[in-house]
């Protein structure tokens, strides 16, 4: 069973993507909370700084660990483009779910799995040749 899993490179890549994504989310949210509650910073500034730090971690972890490519400026620009596109996917899905009547506290839960799958393929395309 482990040999079959080891030979399934795309599945392993997706698992590594999930690990990096969880790590990036923890970093982002941790910095956000620390800046708001620890240093009393503005929530917009805190969220943005947490996102930037998380994005940097995410880029290097995605290139070196998830997709095993080089961390170049060109890959960084493509990675940023993929994440910018993913942000719009998040916002569109969130608004569609709310417009069709899904409560705003439930809508993000539905957005998350869809956006993760879309982001995986966009980042994969951006970082792989």
Domain ranges of the chain: 1-68, 70-129
- Condensed to tens digits (0 to 9), the pLDDT of residues 13-63 reads 888 888 998 898 889 778 878 988 899 987 667 777 877 898 889 888 988
pLDDT digits (tens, 9 = 90+) for 54-100: 888 988 898 888 777 777 888 778 878 878 887 788 778 878 987 99
SS3 (DSSP) at 103: coil
Look at residue 65 in the predicted model and tell me its pLDDT.
84
pLDDT of 1 strictly over 60: no
Alpha-carbon distance 95 to 82, whole Å?
A: 20
Q: What are phi and psi of 90, to 5 degrees?
A: -55, -50
Query: Where does the pLDDT of residue 5 fall: very low under 50, low under 70, confident under 90, or very high at 90 and above?
Result: low
């Amino acid at each position: 069973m482990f040999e079959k899993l080891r030979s399934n490179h795309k599945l392993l890549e997706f698992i590594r993507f999930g690990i990096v994504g969880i790590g990036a989310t923890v970093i982002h949210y941790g910095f956000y909370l620390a800046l708001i509650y620890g240093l009393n910073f503005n929530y917009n500034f805190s969220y943005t700084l947490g996102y930037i730090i998380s994005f940097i971690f995410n880029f290097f972890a995605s290139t070196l660990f998830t997709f095993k490519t080089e961390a170049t400026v060109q890959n960084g620009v493509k990675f940023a483009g993929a994440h910018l596109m993913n942000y719009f996917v998040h916002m569109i899905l969130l608004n569609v779910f709310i417009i069709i009547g899904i409560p705003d506290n439930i809508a993000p839960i539905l957005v998350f799995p869809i956006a993760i799958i879309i982001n995986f393929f966009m980042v994969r395309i951006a970082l792989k040749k």
